[in-house]
Structure 1
């Protein structure tokens, strides 16, 4: 659920920063940029934590 909410927040903020930049107010643009950065960070962290759960005791493997 958190992943989907983060993905939706990221896409909506990209719309506000990208193609809808001319029609959105400046406070929304700065907030959308912040939401885009935070949601991208959260998505990367979630992907890293749910990724490969192999044994990390041998880093050369």
Structure 2
């Protein structure tokens, strides 16, 4: 659930920063840039935590 909310927030903030930049107020652009960065960071953290459970202590054969 958190991952999908983060994806939606990231996509909406990209819309405000990208194609809708001309009609968006400056405070919304600043907030959208901040939301884009935070949601991208959250997505990377979520993907890292749910990633593969490989054990790095064992050397590869």
TM range (shorter): over 0.9
Q: Counterpart of 2:31 in 1: which secondary structure?
A: helix
Give the aligned length. 60
Tell me the residue number matched to 2:56: 56
- The runs of at least 4 consecutive aligned structure 1 residues that moved more than 6 Å come to none
CA distance in 2, matches of 1:8, 1:55: 32
Gaps of 5+ in 1: none
Gaps of 5+ in 2: none
Tell me the residue number matched to 2:12: 12
TM-score normalised by structure 2 residue count = 0.93
Q: Counterpart of 1:53 in 2: which secondary structure?
A: coil
RMSD: 0.8
TM-score normalised by structure 1 residue count = 0.93
